């Protein structure tokens, strides 16, 4: 059984080998962490099984705020419109590296831990991104002063970076159920590294330096800090070819999820070919390696097209047998209109002109929201 995940098998065969097993039985997918908790392994196996027929819908910061509200227990814009929370919750830990009380979008970290607990207990899947500040210049994640070589072992800022990683680890340790069990999390660091807008991006470090940064991140959390509840997601932004996608891929031993972020080929059906080509590439590359493919960030800011959800987003994802095998599709956050950014939202809110179409999207059999999910952790 163990062997099945270490060789290349079609998803159907792979999953049928596991159906009916409980995590305690024999399921040992070849994860980055061979000692991952039973729930974390189950999450991987279940995502891999579910993607044969379904795609989970995800939203960033769903429980923290919406376009016209903040910090209201049990609320999300997605639920306001559809009656259900998203199936996958994205969270962002930028500024955890400073030991700050709030992230870079003013979300309180204690609240975030509580919302992560609630999302997990409601059956949802949790993914975390990180936009750490520039460790050399002190600027933001978008400050492209070169920094990667300096934070690697032997570099002048390495110790500082280790302190940052320690704070990240402390936050991860706090992600526990009431009973003290670690909550499985898909960690998605150093994303969009094939472009040049972040300090860890292309042209700011060599592929080898990037690989070292990635491996250090994994080994620190897994081996040094003993986190047994993490799956690791690699997610470049839009790309030209498999070679481009894989240029900064740190190796099969260091990646569980092969994702991709795309805000560019999703504005209309005109660029569907481009979107489909990239989804097909990600699915194919992931399946060749026994990894899980996903659309890790996406969306159309402010959703100016009222039928975008079905006519562009779903039509692209559901384009063919290959594209629809991604495990999830996540859209970015709904910034609060009064306190944060205006017109920066990627899911509809109650009363938005795409709300009706979003309900149609939610009712499509391919797409799962939280209340459609089977137990993802067993
Ligand atoms: C970006 C925007 C920013 C935000 C950042 C991190 O895409 O939403 O406003 O600070 O993500 O969440």
133 lines ligand 1 (CB under 6 A): no
Percent of the chain with pLDDT over 90: 92
Q: Is 208 one of the catalytic residues? A: no
In a domain, 349, yes or no: yes
- The pTM score is 0.93
CA of 263 to the centre of ligand 1 (A): 13
The reply to whether ligand 1 has any atom less than 6 angstroms from the CB of 38 is no
The tens digit of pLDDT for each residue in 84-122 reads 999 999 999 999 999 999 999 999 999 999 999 999 999
Contacts of 258 (CB under 8 A, 6+ apart): 233, 234, 235, 282, 285, 286, 289, 291, 292, 293, 294
User: Which atom in ligand 1 lies closest to the alpha carbon of residue 92?
Assistant: 12
199-213 average pLDDT score: 98
How many other CB atoms are there within 10 angstroms of residue 313's CB atom? 26
**Does residue 370 have a pLDDT over 80?**
yes
Which of 192, 212, 287, 370 is an active site residue?
192
Q: Residue 37: inside a domain, yes or no? A: no
Residue 29 pLDDT: 75
Distance separating alpha carbons of residues 183 and 185, to the nearest angstrom: 6
pLDDT grade for 22, boundaries at 50, 70 and 90 = very low
Best residue for ligand 1 mutational test, from 66, 333, 340 (most atoms within 8 Å of Cβ): 333
- Distance between CA atoms of residues 118 and 110, nearest Å: 13
Question: Residue 19: inside a domain, yes or no?
Answer: no
In a domain, 28, yes or no: no
Q: What is the pLDDT of residues 38-85, one digit of tens each?
A: 999 999 999 999 999 999 999 999 999 999 999 999 999 999 999 999
| Residue 46 within any structural domain of the chain | no
Q: How many domains does one find in the chain?
A: 1
Question: Does residue 20 sit within a domain?
Answer: no
Q: Which domain holds residue 296?
A: 55-372
Whether 288 is a known active-site residue: answer: no
- Residue pLDDT, tens place only, 27-37: 457 999 999 99
Task: Report how far ligand 1's centroid is from the alpha carbon of 191 (Å).
Answer: 13
Beta pairing, strands 69-70 & 65-66? antiparallel
Query: Is there a domain that residue 32 lies in?
Result: no
* Average pLDDT for 16-21: 39
Q: Do the domain assignments include residue 21?
A: no
pLDDT attached to residue 28: 54
Q: Which residues contact 102 (CB under 8 A, 6 or more apart)?
A: 95, 108, 109
CATH number at residue 265: 3.20.20.80
């Amino acid at each position: 059984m163990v062997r099945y995940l270490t060789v290349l098998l079609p998803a159907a065969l792979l999953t049928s080998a596991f159906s009916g097993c409980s995590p305690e039985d024999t399921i040992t997918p070849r994860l980055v962490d061979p000692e991952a908790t039973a729930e974390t392994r189950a999450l991987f196996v279940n995502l891999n099984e579910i993607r044969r027929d379904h795609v989970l819908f995800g939203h960033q910061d769903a429980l923290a705020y919406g376009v016209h509200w903040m910090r209201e227990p049990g609320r999300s814009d997605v639920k306001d419109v559809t009656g259900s929370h998203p199936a996958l919750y994205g969270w962002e830990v930028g500024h955890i590296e400073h030991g700050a009380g709030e992230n870079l979008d003013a979300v309180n970290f204690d609240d975030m831990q509580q919302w992560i607990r609630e999302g997990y207990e409601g059956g949802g899947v949790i993914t975390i991104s990180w936009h750490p500040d520039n460790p050399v210049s002190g600027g933001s994640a978008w400050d492209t002063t070169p920094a990667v070589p300096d934070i690697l072992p032997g570099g002048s800022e390495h110790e500082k970076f280790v302190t940052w990683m320690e704070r990240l680890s402390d936050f991860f340790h706090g992600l526990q159920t009431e009973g003290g069990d670690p909550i499985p999390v898909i960690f998605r660091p150093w994303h969009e590294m094939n472009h040049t807008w972040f300090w860890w991006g292309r042209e700011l470090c060599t592929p080898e330096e990037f690989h070292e940064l990635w491996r250090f991140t994994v080994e620190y959390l897994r081996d040094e800090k003993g986190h047994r509840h993490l799956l690791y997601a690699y997610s470049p932004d839009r790309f030209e070819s498999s070679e481009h996608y894989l240029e900064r891929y740190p190796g099969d031993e260091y990646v569980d999820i092969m994702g991709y972020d795309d805000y560019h080929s999703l504005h209309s059906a005109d660029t569907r070919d481009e979107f489909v080509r990239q989804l097909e590439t990600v699915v194919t590359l992931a399946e060749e390696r026994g990894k899980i493919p996903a659309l890790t960030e996406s969306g159309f800011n402010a959703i100016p097209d009222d039928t975008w959800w079905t006519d562009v987003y779903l039509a692209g994802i559901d384009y063919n047998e290959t594209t629809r095998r991604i495990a999830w599709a996540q859209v970015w956050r709904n910034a609060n209109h009064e306190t944060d950014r205006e017109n920066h939202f990627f899911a509809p809110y109650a009363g938005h002109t795409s709300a009706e179409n979003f309900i149609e999207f939610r009712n499509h059999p391919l797409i799962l929201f939280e209340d459609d999910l089977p137990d993802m952790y067993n």
